[in-house]
Amino acid sequence: MDLDLRVVSASERLDRIEFNPGSEWLAHAIQLGSYRCPHCGCLSELHTGTLRQHEHDRKHLDPSPWGQSCARLRPLAAAWEWFLDFSCMGCGAPVRLFYGHGGEYSMGSHKYRLLEVVETATWSKGDEAPWVSSQRRGV
């Protein structure tokens, strides 16, 4: 069964699109971005370290209804693209954030650019997330 999902531009939901680990290092300031949930208005924060950590996720096959529906709706590019799954702190709605290579800032080190978000078209607090929670880490 397909879930009722939609793809929106990351800039519609997040207040930061570019994450540059190089300027973080220079400014000693962590670059934070916030996703605003369209269902409850809650903010979920992420930072450069979150993105770096989830680069490994692209190698994991996700057999859950969520993973399969996302893969059909918005397949991952062959290279230099990653995704991050999380659920809204406020209402538990599942979100998949796609991000890519945002250019190099030094030899072999890259910036990140947020691309698109897959989210449920409708969601009520108390709905059960379409994945097995034990497989998930929070943001």
| 107, 23 contact by CB (below 8 A) | no
Binding mask 60-79 for Zn ion (x = CB under 5 A): --------------------
What is the C-alpha separation between 117 and 57, in angstroms, rounded? 16
5 near Zn ion, rule: CB under 5 A: no
Q: Choose which of 13, 39, 54, 111 interacts with Zn ion (CB under 5 A).
A: 39
Q: How far is CA 132 from CA 62, 64, 67, 106, 128, in A?
A: 10, 7, 11, 38, 10
| Beta strands, E only, 79-126 | 81-87, 94-106, 109-120
What is the C-alpha separation between 26 and 16, in angstroms, rounded? 19
Q: Choose which of 90, 105, 127, 130 interacts with Zn ion (CB under 5 A).
A: 90
129 near Zn ion, rule: CB under 5 A: no
Of 63, 119, 56, residue with least CA distance to 92:
119
42 near Zn ion, rule: CB under 5 A: yes
Query: Shortest approach of Zn ion to residue 93 CB, angstroms?
Result: 5
40 near Zn ion, rule: CB under 5 A: yes
| Cβ proximity to Zn ion, 108 vs 126, nearer residue | 126
43 near Zn ion, rule: CB under 5 A: no
36 near Zn ion, rule: CB under 5 A: no
What is the C-alpha separation between 12 and 14, in angstroms, rounded? 6
Residues within the interface to Zn ion (CB under 5 A):
37, 39-40, 42, 88, 90-91, 93
